[in-house]
Amino acid sequence: MVAGDVFASEDRLGTWRHLLVTVRSPRRIFVAKALAGLTVILLLVAGPACSGTAGGLIAVGDQPLVGLDGHLLAPGTAAGRVLLAWICVLAPTLALAGIGLLGSIALGRSPMGLLLPALVALGTQVAQVLPLPVAVRLALPGYAFIAWNGLFTSPAQTGPLLIGIVVGLAWALLATALAYLLFLRRDFTGPAHDGSGRRAVTAGILPLAALLAVTTLILTRATGAPATGSGIGQDKVQRSLATAFAHLYRMQTRQLHRPAVTEAQLKATAACTKSDGQAAPEGAGNDWRCVVTWHLPGTTAPGTAVYQLDITADGRYVADGDGPKEVNGYFLVRTPAGDAPNPLWQFDGNVELLDSTPKG
């Protein structure tokens, strides 16, 4: 909204001619206003980043962080990942800022120029919860706002995040370039400028729509992402759940002071169905049911645990333990030091939408 108002405010006040007499160079005016808006936007991003980090340290302290695949992140590593996540969201933020500059110039003093970045941000976030094809989801300018989740797995799922950053920067560059060209061709002789609907479509919407289409095509070819489908398949869900369970089982073992066990020794696997086998095992939904099986050294009978999964369209899921009570059926476990939260009762996970992570 800051970017959407930085040029439109001059139209509302009718001060363009005075500004041009003083500065004389439209190029210098554009650069100065764009940098001023960018400075404010960066400060607004830094504010929640600093306050959120400080609040987390005050509330929780310097503790290890459980990742989205159940493994523990050391405090220093977690701090670095959090900082990197905030840096990554600058790319989609710049994309929205570029769209704001474009709307501010193309729509003049119309309030739509001010609201355009907010509407685009809302639209892209709504699109992320819809069952869109993976390539389309990755091609949206706001994907990096949620792709940082991949930083909190081991190994890190950097492919979708890098794609989201590149796409966000491409949107930022194109929108800013279009805004710059429109500004240089602007007629400043009129007392007010209400914008041109035709110009907003031809110089704003159509190029950005073309960028979305081209990016979608490139991602479909380059990443092997399916042209249709959610990217959430049975094998991915089973692999992600089994990995997270194995990490968290070790955590529960330490809580209960039981003999240490490794993920390799557990050999955890998961078998998942959707809608009790009545629907194809793919896509988002809260009707996933999984049975996790693992083996302990020195025992012949395997252990089993049931989970109900609620998977969102972006690959995030919540696994809710459904028994047995001694493993994941209750939110507390009785430890030698007293009751403690049960790490296997309910936990978050992440399914990587791409079949493989592209190498950076």
Question: What pTM, to 2 d.p., does this model score?
Answer: 0.85
Average pLDDT over residues 203-208: 79
| Mean pLDDT comparison of 108-122, 177-191, 207-221, 304-318, highest-scoring range | 304-318
Q: Are 340 and 145 contacting, i.e. CB atoms less than 8 angstroms apart?
A: no
DSSP label at residue 261: -
Percent of the chain with pLDDT over 70: 92
Distance in Å from the first CA to the final CA of the chain = 33
Kindly tell me if the per-residue pLDDT of 358 is higher than 50.
no
Per-residue pLDDT, 360: 36
Confidence bin at 88 (pLDDT 50/70/90)? very high
**Token output for 130:** 């819809």
DSSP label at residue 297: T
Per-residue pLDDT, 273: 95
Kindly tell me if the per-residue pLDDT of 197 is higher than 60.
no
Kindly tell me if the per-residue pLDDT of 189 is higher than 70.
no
Average pLDDT over residues 106-131: 83
Element housing 340 (H / E): strand 338-341
What's the farthest any 2 CA atoms get from each other in the chain? 87
Among 4-8, 195-199, 293-297, whose mean pLDDT is lowest? 195-199
Average pLDDT over residues 94-119: 84
> Domain ranges in the chain?
2-223, 234-350
Classified as helix, coil or strand, 258 is: coil
Per-residue pLDDT, 290: 96
Confidence bin at 243 (pLDDT 50/70/90)? very high
Per-residue pLDDT, 107: 79
**Token output for 262:** 């490794």
Confidence bin at 228 (pLDDT 50/70/90)? low
Higher-confidence residue of 93 and 63: namely 93
Average pLDDT of every residue of the chain: 87
Per-residue pLDDT, 111: 74
Say if residue 154 is exposed, middle or buried (CB neighbours under 10 Å; 0-12, 13-18, 19+): middle
Kindly tell me if the per-residue pLDDT of 336 is higher than 50.
yes
Kindly tell me if the per-residue pLDDT of 163 is higher than 80.
yes
Per-residue pLDDT, 357: 44
Per-residue pLDDT, 359: 39
Sequence-ordered list of residues with C-beta below 8 angstroms from that of 115, at least 6 positions apart, any chain: 1, 4
- Amino acid occupying residue 75: P
Classified as helix, coil or strand, 274 is: strand
CA separation, residue 358 to residues 70, 156, 213, 355 (Å): 23, 12, 21, 9
Average pLDDT over residues 233-237: 93
CA distance 98 to 88: 17
CA distance 92 to 160: 13
How many other β-carbons are positioned within 10 Å of the β-carbon of residue 28? 10
pLDDT one-digit tens code per residue, 38-60: 999 999 999 999 999 899 889 88
Single out the residue of 320, 315, 241, 81 nearest to residue 72, CA to CA: 81
Per-residue pLDDT, 198: 62
What residues does 338 pair with on adjacent strands? 335
Average pLDDT over residues 232-255: 94
Residue 190, φ and ψ in degrees, nearest 5 = -75, 150
Higher-confidence residue of 139 and 116: namely 139
Kindly tell me if the per-residue pLDDT of 181 is higher than 60.
yes
Q: Are 268 and 250 contacting, i.e. CB atoms less than 8 angstroms apart?
A: no
Single out the residue of 204, 202, 198 nearest to residue 171, CA to CA: 204
Sequence-ordered list of residues with C-beta below 8 angstroms from that of 321, at least 6 positions apart, any chain: 305, 306, 307, 327, 328, 329, 342, 344, 345, 346
Percent of the chain with pLDDT over 90: 47
H-type helices in the chain, by residue range? 2-5, 8-13, 16-23, 26-59, 75-88, 90-106, 111-128, 134-139, 144-147, 158-184, 197-200, 206-223, 234-255, 263-266
Average pLDDT over residues 82-89: 94
CA distance 153 to 165: 18
Q: Are 126 and 146 contacting, i.e. CB atoms less than 8 angstroms apart?
A: no
